[in-house]
Structure 1
Amino acid sequence: MELRPYQKEAKTAVLSQWEQGNSKTLLVLPTGCGKTIVFAKIAEDRVRNGERVLILAHRGELLEQAADKILNACGLGCAVEKAEESCIGSWYRITVGSVQSLMREKRLAQFSKDYFNTIIIDEAHHSISDSYQKILGYFDEAKVLGVTATPDRGDMKNLGQVFDSLAYEYTLPRAIKEGYLSPIKALTIPLKLDLTGVGTQAGDYKASDIDTALDPYLYQIADEMLKYCKERKTVVFLPLIKTSQKFCKILNEKGFRSAEVNGNSIDRGTVLADFDSGKYNVLCNSMLLTEGWDCPSVDCVIVLRPTKVRGLYCQMVGRGTRLCEGKKDLLLLDFLWHTERHELCRPAHLICESPEVAEKMTANIAAAGMPVDIEQAEEKAKEDVVAQREEALAKQLAEMKKRKRKLVDPLQYEMSIQAEDLSSYVPAFGWECSPPSDKQKATLEKLGIFPDEIDNAGKAQLLLDRLGKRRNLGLTTPKQIRFLESRGFQHVGTWQFESARNLIDRIAANNWHVPNGIDPASYEPKVVNNSDVGI
């Protein structure tokens, strides 16, 4: 099986991290982008090197999927370490193993500590739990790859505690832009659901409390669905089984062809197959289908189980992001959840790194009153936030002009080059959280960035990497940005180096005054490479 370009990049990045000595590394690919294929090919590579590979997962369906994909993609069979089945004595070099089985001390003791050379963790956002840590601690010499579509954890602990590095991340917007996932349209339904009395448990909203708050609105929600998704194939996520069953009945009363599945459903396989074939057009479930189930023809997702866990929200929406013949887009219905807490996940959190942009995007979608493409909505929200920031920055710049120093404040630099990833950066791994090194600070100062306002090594390194890329692309330097923006020119960070230098030469020749006929607020250089904005 031929890997897609980003899958090749991902595989190369993982192997590179291991070669550099980062024995525990993380790979992030959105749902529907073939993460199983990538780690199957990595497992094949390890087997060719004579290694034994363990693939860990917490659910039987994930183990079966992994074994099937490895057989189809690589022609390699897998041994099984689960319940009564054991890989010991098998000639297969790859084992798919259940965490619940392997975590038992008696089970682990049957293996030598170097039995597995490589461990791959599917759905790695679960790996911080004690059960996974017990297994990783036993096979402590093995290289580890964590693979996930959702790098957040419900208990808010950071995966940086488990992994040494992030080898590769393929983002949802990039996957949509490159044609590997379906475009997403979000629609805010003006139905206010009050969550102010809902408590929290294990880092998220308590399902039983959500159920109580949601129950009075079920008929109204069904009426809204009649307006927007009667002709769509819809999956609805609800907090409890009883609510899922009740809502399924309501939908059938309203004329939908609705079915319900839960962990106790004896006929679950039949119901899922019938939904796939079109016998039903709505499938209700109580959080059963967040992982390990694929139905590419789903083109509408409704989340009636509000969550503050971004990873869980992405998993739910991910049930509808796959491509399918005849499918134009995924419609994501969002309701006006009223809560005093601001952690509630909304469509904006699928693609926004900045909380500020996410908040603005959520407000814009709600005001639109019609389905809005989330990529376009994010761009508009970014523009709005930039405008707000520029207003605040103008005041800061006025203060900066009074300062003697010739260095650029990091905030001014990030705003000028329009680098959202820099302004929203949050350190994750151990080394990133430590203070900037003296060498980093000295280099930043030499290149024109004021280093005292950078409080972690990860941000310092990101800035240094960006400065190097911009130099190679022939874009403006921090000192050029500082000089020209102090005289009122806008977004100098998007200019070419030569354009800025020519203008500075003209100002210098005019006794350091802006020449007549040039309005700094509206001035645009003749050569601007817009594709490099954010670099």
Structure 2
Amino acid sequence: MAGPRDKQGEAVPKEPTARLPRHVASFRDDTFPVSRQPAGVSPTSAPTLRPYQRETVAAVIEARKQGCRRMLVCLPTGSGKTVVFAHLAGLAHRQVLVLAHREELLAQARDKIQKAMGSDSVVAIERGAERAPADARVLVCSIRSLHEERLARVIRGRDLGLVIYDECHHAAAQDNRRVLSQLGAFDPDWQGTLLGFTATTARGDGQGLDDVFERIVYSRTLPEMIRDRYLCPLRGFRISTTADLRKLSSSGLDFREDELELAIDVEERNALVARSIQELARDRRTIAFCVTVAHARNLCKALNHLGVRAGIVYGDMPPERRAQELADFRAGKTNALTNVAVLTEG
């Protein structure tokens, strides 16, 4: 929940509730210098933050002053997490590394950070054949491309003070932890800051994030965001089908994929779902979340059979084709998009 506010409606910073340990109290932190505008940005050109976004920025800076080096921010989808960490990247005194998982999130992060920091600062992407220049103030990287040798080259000669991890619920995975370890995030004398952003701290495999992050420094729930009119109210329709999921096995906190696919990727059920989308969504754009690529293809085919212009995106699709499918959906050339684990984030 939001904390107390002053007469101007600004959040009142919380006072520390306990005396800090000596090694923390004497820690010299220059991640976020006091009273610093984002580099190259005038107060009038910087994006205006919403009240809860300003509270997030203040909470991150206060936690760092208290000695917290690995912190997490939890905000619902649609709340503008990228806008928040773009602002923090602009405040950072040293170079910034942004870690993301999906190709679509790399460009989104770069564009918003560039807007927050202004044209004088170099914000570059490091992925595949792309190499970020040495003078880049912010590097936006695909974490999957950061094998040990490449990450060593990225780090070499750079003064990275802030590591921003977008969709950080992935951080517990072994290879992602390897990247953070190589960056030095778990070293006792590390002088940097690891800042994770996510809409959910729960993982499907049940693994916790407490081994990666020290604490959650700011969070808001979906009902709070709806109540404060930042997000639209949800309205749900339940379509009854013959699929029976009661006897399916579980894998972590979810169903086993192979069993779930057999239960719901059924021609008659796909036809019913397609008709429901046609009748309930009408001309509104629709995103369908599917279990497997075969399921996504079959539902897409069922939609097209009814005259609903539908496309499909999935992780292993060639990047150019996936980008085109997403562009067609944004432009209204397709009304529905079936996907497998691509549009679940960002």
Unaligned runs of 5+ in 2: 1-46, 185-189
Residue 176 of structure 2 corresponds to which residue in structure 1? 132
The one-letter code matched in structure 1 to 2:56 is A
In structure 2, distance between residues paired with 1:138 and 1:287: 28
In structure 1, distance between residues paired with 2:75 and 2:88: 15
Residue 322 of structure 2 corresponds to which residue in structure 1? 268
Residue 253 of structure 1 corresponds to which residue in structure 2? 305
In structure 2, distance between residues paired with 1:256 and 1:283: 10
In structure 1, distance between residues paired with 2:278 and 2:156: 59
Change (3 A) 1:236 1:116: same
Query: Which residues of 2 match residues 324-473 of structure 1 at below 5 A?
Result: none
Residue 9 of structure 1 corresponds to which residue in structure 2? 55
Change (3 A) 1:170 1:237: same
1:349-378 Cα shifts (integer Å, max 9, x gaps): xxxxxxxxxxxxxxxxxxxxxxxxxxxxxx
1:93 to 120, 126, 137: 137
Change (3 A) 1:22 1:245: same
2:163 to 119, 123, 127: 119
In structure 1, distance between residues paired with 2:278 and 2:71: 46
1:282-339 Cα shifts (integer Å, max 9, x gaps): 22222322224xxxxxxxxxxxxxxxxxxxxxxxxxxxxxxxxxxxxxxxxxxxxxxx
**Residue 11 of structure 1 contacts residue 38 of structure 1 at CA under 8 Å; is this kept in 2?**
yes
Shift of 1:202: 5.5
Q: Choose 33-42 or 236-245, whichever is displaced more.
A: 236-245
Residue 285 of structure 1 corresponds to which residue in structure 2? 339
Residue 10 of structure 2 corresponds to which residue in structure 1? none
Q: Secondary structure at the match of 1:290?
A: coil
Q: Secondary structure at the match of 1:289?
A: coil
Residue 221 of structure 1 corresponds to which residue in structure 2? 273
In structure 2, distance between residues paired with 1:106 and 1:253: 47
Change (3 A) 1:115 1:190: same
Q: Secondary structure at the match of 2:210?
A: helix
In structure 2, distance between residues paired with 1:278 and 1:39: 30
1:135-158 Cα shifts (integer Å, max 9, x gaps): 222333121100111221122111
Change (3 A) 1:249 1:120: same
The one-letter code matched in structure 1 to 2:210 is G
1:193 to 237, 243, 258: 243
In structure 1, distance between residues paired with 2:331 and 2:207: 40
Q: Is 1:62 aligned with 2:115? A: no
1:82 to 123, 127, 132: 127
Unaligned runs of 5+ in 1: 293-535
Shift of 1:98: 2.4
1:367-392 Cα shifts (integer Å, max 9, x gaps): xxxxxxxxxxxxxxxxxxxxxxxxxx
Shift of 1:53: 1.3
In structure 2, distance between residues paired with 1:17 and 1:287: 33
1:50-102 Cα shifts (integer Å, max 9, x gaps): x1211111233222211111111221322343334444x62222221222233
Q: Secondary structure at the match of 2:159?
A: coil
Structure 1 or 2, whichever has the larger Rg, is: 1
TM-score (norm 1): 0.50
Residue 224 of structure 2 corresponds to which residue in structure 1? 174
In structure 2, distance between residues paired with 1:59 and 1:215: 26
Residue 443 of structure 1 corresponds to which residue in structure 2? none
Residue 425 of structure 1 corresponds to which residue in structure 2? none
Residue 213 of structure 2 corresponds to which residue in structure 1? 163
Residue 149 of structure 1 corresponds to which residue in structure 2? 199
**Residue 134 of structure 2 contacts residue 158 of structure 2 at CA under 8 Å; is this kept in 1?**
no
Q: Secondary structure at the match of 1:128?
A: coil
Q: Choose 173-182 or 260-269, whichever is displaced more.
A: 260-269
Q: Is 1:71 aligned with 2:121? A: no
**Residue 63 of structure 1 contacts residue 98 of structure 1 at CA under 8 Å; is this kept in 2?**
yes
1:488-530 Cα shifts (integer Å, max 9, x gaps): xxxxxxxxxxxxxxxxxxxxxxxxxxxxxxxxxxxxxxxxxxx
Q: Which has the higher contact order (CA 8 A, sep 6+)?
A: 2
Shift of 1:225: 3.3
TM-score (norm 2): 0.76
Change (3 A) 1:255 1:130: same
In structure 2, distance between residues paired with 1:105 and 1:202: 33
Name the count of aligned residue pairs: 288
Q: Is 1:30 aligned with 2:76? A: yes
Q: Secondary structure at the match of 2:337?
A: strand
Change (3 A) 1:107 1:272: closer
Query: Which residues of 2 match residues 33-48 of structure 1 at below 5 A?
Result: 33-46=79-92
In structure 1, distance between residues paired with 2:130 and 2:274: 46
Q: Percent identity?
A: 36
Shift of 1:110: 6.6
Shift of 1:190: 2.9
**Residue 79 of structure 1 contacts residue 90 of structure 1 at CA under 8 Å; is this kept in 2?**
no
Q: Secondary structure at the match of 1:187?
A: coil
Name the structure where helix makes up a greater proportion of residues: 1
In structure 2, distance between residues paired with 1:201 and 1:61: 28
In structure 2, distance between residues paired with 1:163 and 1:113: 26
